Amino acid sequence: MHKIQVYDTTLRDGAQREGLSLSLDDKLKIARHLDGLGMDYIEGGWPGSNPKDIAFFEQVPALGLTHATVTAFGSTRRADTDVATDIQIRALLAAKTPAVAVFGKSWDLHVARVLNTSLDENLRMIADSVSYLQSHGREVIYDAEHFFDGYLADPEYAMETLRVAAQAGAVLLVLCDTNGGTMPEQLREIFAHVARQVDLPLGIHCHNDSGLAVANTLLAVQAGAVHVQGTINGYGERCGNGDLCAIIPNLQLKLGYRCISDAQLRSLSEVAHYVSNRANLAPDPHQPYVGHSAFAHKGGMHVNAMLKCEESFQHTDPALVGNQKRIVVSELAGRSNILYKVEEFGMDLEIDQEEARALVSHIKDLESRGFQFEGADASVELLIRRSKEGYAPPFELIDFHILVRDKENGIMASEAMVKIKVGDDVMLTAADGNGPVNALDQAVRKALLPTYPQLAPVHLIDYKVRILDGDAGTAALTRVLIDSSDGERTWSTVGSSSNIIEASWQALADSLEYALLKVFDSQG
């Protein structure tokens, strides 16, 4: 099958979505998952635009990515500036990535009214930038920004920008529908024409302002593109970018192209949900292929047909993308998930079908109360362990009180008092913190460390709060997702309550209990 390169720009273009903000830790963790998914290129950001992106390029080599080529993104040199002294070009080189993506103007409107320069100078800007970066050992991908609008306005000039980039040493030319307004047939005709005129490999980069980014990307591939750009979940500015979670399976399952391995494709839903959780955005349950409801069946006639013949109401096998068929009214859905998790976690437990059914029911009840376990495997493992008769938790919270007061200097102070039972002993401790959750964390550790010194290296590395029903105001249901680490491994836990302190405690307690269980497991 013909191989299509996949270029992921979630960490740069996707991060331009309104309301989305990724921490440095988020970006590094997402990059690791994208590498595991089989992305050929991961665009890490725009070096020089902010300290976070600079730090990302400094730290990403330590991840030891095994497949993806990390790419820095930037523009051509500024007008009437020596390329060797241009700040943006120097920042691209300083990122030390093996590949760089450089965008330049294809539309004469942008050249005249945005860059405020001449058409000839714009061509020199493209040539100088590509040539200079290529001479410094970089693989240069040239992004022809606003290409389709530019082609419609002045096809000869738009084509000349591509020829200049190719002659200067670009290895790939990417045609960008930057405004997302090109109609499918129009895009296919233009792309096919370019493919006949240019010898270099071509790529496609579509925005979704007309709801056509996925369709246009597929048409471009059929017209000759060998490289597709997009983002996980279609995140991006305005209406978003081409959604790789639809582009990849459509190319691979429907059109016969090869993007990633079959095993990697089966992890697509997991990666989609992981990225949404890291972005602190609710996953779209109706997202094609990877949404929780993408293969859910509720209508009586549909369910009746599904039980007889699954393909009667499913366009593909959901397992191929790591999703699953769901018959909403049936209690039978989901037992295999529990059994799979027991095996995945390497747990030495026997879970029969009735126990699995009871666990599924319990999880569904918790999810109806705001919990979400897709990004909190540690909490899932604890639910399974707790379901077994004879399980004894390493500690039990009996009670806690938190006092928040305003000091004379105007700084809010928090103090937590906790009563915790460990075995037959009950400990009462208190601690201060820079907030109520931090105070609770400090007090709990103070109580547990004398018995469990193994908790000393455990620390929180991320803490996310999401309001689930904002219409309820200050009484809204709140979900808390905590990432923890002991310096060697990381894990995630979840809590949910209309009381943010209770939700935080649930996630915090799970984190500490999970850490202890891993210690006990390692000790036999």
Instruction: Quick: pLDDT tens for 107-123.
Output: 999 999 999 999 999 99
Q: How confident is the model at residue 349 (pLDDT cuts 50, 70, 90)?
A: confident
Most confident among 304-308, 313-317, 465-469 (mean pLDDT): 313-317
Distance CA 153, CA 108 (A): 8
Statement: residue 297 has pLDDT above 50: yes
Statement: residue 261 has pLDDT above 90: yes
Give me the pLDDT at residue 468, please. 80
> Apex CA 146: angle with CA 205 and CA 70, to 5°?
40
Give me the pLDDT at residue 336, please. 57
User: Closest by alpha carbon to 146, among 206, 101, 186, 214?
Assistant: 206
Give me the pLDDT at residue 521, please. 81
- Using a pLDDT cut of 90, give the percent of the chain over it: 69
Statement: residue 329 has pLDDT above 70: no
For residues 497-506, average pLDDT: 90
- Identify which has the larger pLDDT, 493 or 347: 493
Q: How confident is the model at residue 328 (pLDDT cuts 50, 70, 90)?
A: very low
Give me the pLDDT at residue 2, please. 93
User: Closest by alpha carbon to 482, among 505, 498, 502?
Assistant: 505
Statement: residue 340 has pLDDT above 80: no
Distance CA 151, CA 181 (A): 13
Cα–Cα separations (whole angstroms), residue 210 to 283, 300, 418, 500: 21, 35, 55, 39
Statement: residue 497 has pLDDT above 50: yes
For residues 427-450, average pLDDT: 91
> Apex CA 68: angle with CA 204 and CA 92, to 5°?
75
Q: Does residue 297 sit in helix, strand or coil?
A: strand
DSSP secondary structure letter of residue 200 = S
Q: How confident is the model at residue 3 (pLDDT cuts 50, 70, 90)?
A: very high
Distance CA 4, CA 257 (A): 7
Mean of per-residue pLDDT scores for the chain:
91
- Could you give the domains of the chain? 5-278 (3.20.20.70), 295-330 (4.10.430.20), 395-451 (3.30.160)
pTM: 0.67
Cα–Cα separations (whole angstroms), residue 471 to 361, 422, 502: 28, 40, 20
Sheet harboring 425-433: ordered strands across?
A: 396-406, 412-422, 425-433
User: DSSP string covering 226-291, please?
Assistant: -EEEEBGGG--STT-B-BHHHHHHIIIIIS--BSS-HHHHTTHHHHHHHHHHHTT----TT-TTTS
93-102, 203-212, 307-316, 420-429, range with the lowest pLDDT: 307-316
Give me the pLDDT at residue 303, please. 57
* pLDDT, tens only, 125-164: 999 999 999 999 999 999 999 999 999 999 999 999 999 9
Give me the pLDDT at residue 304, please. 62
Give me the pLDDT at residue 307, please. 64
Distance CA 472, CA 33 (A): 35
Give me the pLDDT at residue 332, please. 32
Q: How confident is the model at residue 410 (pLDDT cuts 50, 70, 90)?
A: low
Q: How confident is the model at residue 520 (pLDDT cuts 50, 70, 90)?
A: confident
Distance CA 241, CA 230 (A): 6
Give me the pLDDT at residue 298, please. 60
Distance CA 439, CA 220 (A): 56
For residues 426-434, average pLDDT: 90
* pLDDT, tens only, 58-75: 999 999 999 999 999 999
Token look-up 């909190």 returns 376
Do 519 and 454 contact (CB within 8 A), yes or no?
A: yes
Distance CA 184, CA 175 (A): 14
* β-bridge partners, 148: none
Statement: residue 183 has pLDDT above 80: yes
Do 190 and 184 contact (CB within 8 A), yes or no?
A: no
3-state secondary structure 182-193: CCHHHHHHHHHH
DSSP secondary structure letter of residue 76 = P
Statement: residue 341 has pLDDT above 50: yes
Give me the pLDDT at residue 377, please. 83
Give me the pLDDT at residue 366, please. 85
* pLDDT, tens only, 16-51: 999 999 999 999 999 999 999 999 999 999 997 889
